[in-house]
Amino acid sequence: MHALTLAAALLAYPAPAADQMPTIIGGELSGRWPGVGALLHGQRFGCTAFLVAPDVVMTAAHCIGSAKIPPPDVFFTGPDLDHVLNRYPIADITPHPDYDPATARYDLAMIRLAVPATEPVVEVATTPLSEADGGRLVWLVGYGLDENDESMRKRIGSTVIGGVIGDNVIIDGLPQACYGDSGSPLLRIGANGQPVAIGVASYIDDALCEGSTYYQRIDRALPFVLGFGDICVEDSRCSDALFASGFDD
């Protein structure tokens, strides 16, 4: 329960200032992964998010506001706030109906954009994860703090799954998610060579971002996710060539 208590304190959206938000520690700057963007309220950075349909964005439920914190109003794409490619107004936000802030269970939300985005979407995994996925190669992409305490710049990193336990995929060691990476996708390579989202960054168990990151499993929330229309699911060919060589260059 220590990790969950820490999660509520560390990953709530948004922190008072960008330098207090959870980025990929040990990653590298990247202008790639155009379907991965970030959420803003006004000009204040909140969390990472990613396109799963031209007009639908997925993120963590704890990123979408609270009684004291206003919800995000813009989804932006680009390598950082100084090089924004597009800004898309948000029309509607829906957290998972079973989201529990106290335990971080079902920490997932869907955002409807007011206009369709032009960036490529990210495929969503439909194959259930299992303990056998431990050790599998995955990619992290987010806008959180790095080892130099800099944020709001997209970074990527590759690692392996540390474990699959209950509703979570666990990542240990570096690269590691940190403040601002909440809502970011955990990606694996699909059969068609395209990135497939298997998890959404939910919480960390170490205040210095040196422990483990817990990702909400998307396969555990598929009925909710697929209820939002034309979601790009794995191997549906809806994103062919959009992320060409995305894992290698």
Q: β-strand 36-41 against 163-165: which pairing, if any?
A: unpaired
Q: How far apart are CA 79 and CA 38, in angstroms?
A: 10
State pTM to two decimals: 0.83
Give pLDDT tens digits for 205-225.
Answer: 877 677 789 999 999 999 999
Measured CA to CA, the distance from residue 21 to residue 17 in angstroms comes to 7
Q: Which residue has the higher pLDDT, 122 or 81?
A: 122
pLDDT given for residue 243 in this prediction? 46
- List the one residue out of 53, 62, 50, 73 whose CA is nearest residue 96: 62
Per-residue pLDDT tens over the stretch 114-146: 999 999 999 999 999 999 999 999 999 988 765
**Cα 182 to Cα 167: distance, rounded to the nearest angstrom:** 16
Please tell me the predicted confidence (pLDDT) of residue 247. Answer: 45
User: Which pairing describes strands 163-165 and 212-217: parallel, antiparallel, or unpaired?
Assistant: unpaired
List the domains of the chain with CATH numbers.
Answer: 2-226 (2.40.10.120)
Question: Which tokens sit at 192?
Answer: 């068609």
Position 153 confidence tier, pLDDT thresholds 50, 70, 90: confident
Q: Specify the DSSP class assigned to residue 71.
A: P
Structure tokens at 95: 């957290």
DSSP letter assigned to residue 131: G
CB 96 within 8 A of CB 2: no
Burial class (CB within 10 angstroms; exposed 0-12, middle 13-18, buried 19+) of 126: middle
Q: Work out the burial of residue 211: count CB atoms within 10 Å of its CB; fewer than 13 is exposed, 13-18 middle, 19 or more buried.
A: middle
Supply the DSSP symbol for 104.
Answer: T
How much is the pLDDT for 206?
Answer: 72
